[in-house]
């Protein structure tokens, strides 16, 4: 997804295309990005390009160290694209970009200590303090999804067991629903009927929709996910002590069905509860476009810095030229 975003975070135009196959080379992904940007540049005056990449971005925000769904491995994405696009390019992690957007234009406005948690297929996260994204020494801070919450628990694709995202994410929600349906549990009859027995068709949005319509099992599953969310948030509060947690990602569409139980569990598990101020837990406002809006806004900042540095360089050069000119004329008159 690519879009043109103005200085107030409004999306002026948006285009979408298929993500190239993971097996394809980074070159194919790069070509796709360039194509989208050039297409939008035909109709808009583009000053900078920001990329919210679903992967680990290094501390210099140049290389994508690893991306689970693309072929990027230590890929110098920023330099490659800057060479082809002729405008300043910024690359950041997608959760960092989304957190930035929520802080600038969304649910986190006015919060100087904010933690963003994105519940999608897994859990992404980001930390913002005093208007700065905390990236860590190596650029990969905020990978909250792989904190261990259940020793010896569910196996995670990351190689460990019991990671937080195995209990509180879209994948966890769907896995639990399918397990209940496969066990032919009476509580699952509603959803089994809904998918006409094709358990593989059960999806996260479907569970949310059924929960809204009052399906007891779906409500319960969202409560479980929400409860685990609250436990993890309490742990993060112990470590980071922010004033606000913004919950984004696809699963956050369940809104109070998820966030209500999360708040309850957070209060029950918060260390020092009753003797410390409680952080606000709120749903993200910008939806699936948050990452794009945030990346664009971060790129705008980089471009401004770039223009300022450029102006200083030009001014220095002009001063030098005046100096040379002045010497020449003084020598001439001598
Ligand atoms: Zn893991």
- CATH number, domain of 275, equals 3.30.420.40
Q: What is the CA radius of gyration of the chain?
A: 24
Ligand 1 centre from 293 Cα, in Å?
A: 28
Structural domain that includes position 51:
2-97+289-316
Ligand 1 centre from 145 Cα, in Å?
A: 7
Same domain, 228 and 244: yes
Same domain, 272 and 180: yes
Whether residue 332 is contained in a domain is answered as no
Ligand 1 centre from 158 Cα, in Å?
A: 4
* Each residue's pLDDT tens digit, 22-63: 667 888 899 999 999 999 999 999 999 999 998 889 988 889
pTM: 0.89
What is the pairing mode between strands 56-57 and 49-53? unpaired
Structure tokens that stand for 214 in this block: 């009052």
Same domain, 174 and 214: yes
Structure tokens that stand for 101 in this block: 């957007």
Spell out the residues 6+ positions from residue 149 whose beta carbon is closer than 8 angstroms to its own: 162, 163, 164, 167, 228, 231, 232, 235
pLDDT at res. 332: 82
Ligand 1 centre from 302 Cα, in Å?
A: 33
pLDDT at res. 23: 66
Same domain, 244 and 197: yes
Of the residues 21, 42, 45, 94, only one is catalytic, namely 94
Low-confidence ranges of the chain (pLDDT < 70): 22-23
pLDDT at res. 307: 82
pLDDT at res. 115: 98
Q: Is 112 a catalytic residue?
A: no
Same domain, 154 and 243: yes
Whether residue 17 is contained in a domain is answered as yes
Same domain, 179 and 279: yes
Whether residue 168 is contained in a domain is answered as yes
Ligand 1 centre from 312 Cα, in Å?
A: 47
pLDDT at res. 72: 87
Whether residue 72 is contained in a domain is answered as yes
Whether residue 176 is contained in a domain is answered as yes
Ligand 1 centre from 159 Cα, in Å?
A: 6
Same domain, 126 and 93: no
Same domain, 265 and 294: no
Same domain, 68 and 165: no
Same domain, 66 and 212: no
Ligand 1 centre from 254 Cα, in Å?
A: 24
Q: Angle at CA 28, nearest 5°, toward 25 and 29?
A: 95
pLDDT at res. 66: 86
Ligand 1 centre from 183 Cα, in Å?
A: 26
Neighbours of 250 (CB within 10 A): 19
Ligand 1 centre from 313 Cα, in Å?
A: 47
Looking at the 3D structure of the chain, how many domains does it have?
2
End-to-end CA distance of the chain: 66
Report how far residue 126's alpha carbon sits from residue 289's, in angstroms, rounded to the nearest whole number. 16
Contact 75, 64 (CB under 8 A): yes
């Amino acid at each position: 997804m690519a879009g043109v975003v103005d200085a107030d975070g409004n999306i002026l135009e948006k285009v979408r295309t298929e993500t190239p196959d993971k097996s394809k080379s980074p070159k194919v992904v790069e070509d796709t990005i360039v194509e989208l940007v050039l297409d939008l540049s035909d109709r808009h005056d583009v000053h900078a390009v920001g990329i919210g990449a679903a992967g680990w971005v290094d501390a210099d925000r140049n290389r994508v160290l690893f991306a689970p769904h693309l072929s990027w491995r230590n890929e110098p994405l920023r330099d490659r694209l800057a060479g082809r696009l002729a405008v300043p390019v910024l690359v950041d992690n997608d959760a960092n970009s989304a957190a930035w957007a929520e802080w600038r234009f969304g649910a986190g406005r006015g919060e100087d200590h904010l933690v963003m948690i994105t519940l999608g297929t897994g859990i992404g996260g980001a930390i913002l303090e005093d208007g700065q994204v905390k990236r860590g020494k190596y650029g990969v801070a905020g990978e909250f999804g792989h904190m261990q919450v259940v020793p010896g628990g569910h196996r995670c694709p990351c190689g460990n067991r019991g990671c937080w995202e195995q209990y509180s994410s879209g994948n966890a929600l769907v896995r639990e629903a399918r397990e209940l349906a496969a066990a032919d549990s009476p509580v699952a009859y509603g959803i089994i009927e809904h998918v006409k027995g094709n358990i593989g068709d059960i999806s996260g949005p479907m569970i949310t929709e059924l929960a809204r319509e009052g399906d007891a099992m779906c409500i319960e599953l969202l409560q479980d996910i929400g409860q685990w969310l609250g436990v993890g948030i309490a742990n993060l509060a112990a470590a980071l002590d922010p004033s606000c947690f913004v919950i984004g990602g696809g699963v956050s569409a369940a809104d109070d069905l998820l966030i209500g139980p999360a708040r309850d569990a957070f209060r029950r598990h918060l260390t020092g509860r009753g003797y410390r101020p409680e952080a606000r837990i709120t749903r993200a406002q910008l939806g699936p476009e948050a990452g794009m809006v945030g990346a664009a806004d971060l790129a705008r900042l980089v471009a401004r810095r770039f223009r300022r540095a450029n102006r200083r360089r030009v001014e220095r050069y002009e001063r030098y030229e005046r100096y040379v000119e002045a010497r020449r004329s003084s020598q001439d008159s001598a």
